[in-house]
Structure 1
């Protein structure tokens, strides 16, 4: 169910629990700013989630409140995960769902990296 990205951070969310080691994940990458792991319900042959280690609900929250070093570190981590996963060539999709209209389901900022096959148009034409 989509969440309201303007609500305060909820330490009980699934990604907070993954960061604390309370829920297992298939880790791909970790540094001081970010943690990346395979999605449990992949939508492409490669489907990796990258999350900041800080307590940010959405891209809006992160961009408004994170220190510059944390923003730069997270963006660099996303790029490193894409390179390490062999996605740069032939290409990949980077997606962040924000709030209800964006269909964000977990109230912790995360980006999806999709790849491993041609992905088609970005949005369906309903």
Structure 2
């Protein structure tokens, strides 16, 4: 069975974001909470993880593991997204604030979609 529309959205987001993490890691440095060690290394590692998850979701034999890994990755990067929203509310334009806060609840259906894909294994 093919991936759901939400799961395909996760794949697309992971490919775009993962590529940007590797090609332009400085873009993500302001999102890093202070308590996260080795910012640059974590940015590169999370970009590689996004690309690996996207690839794994696209290949049926690895889909279950990649879906669980994707759900975990979405939860792991959530503090960075919260920091981005908080920073935007202090320093950003209305458009940036709106986008930053709108992004937060969108992670819930993405995580749910990944967990469903993992349970289905397809």
What TM-score, normalized to structure 2?
0.30
Does 1 or 2 have the higher relative contact order (CA < 8 Å, sep 6+)?
A: 1
Higher relative helix content: 2
Q: Give 1 or 2: higher strand fraction.
A: 1
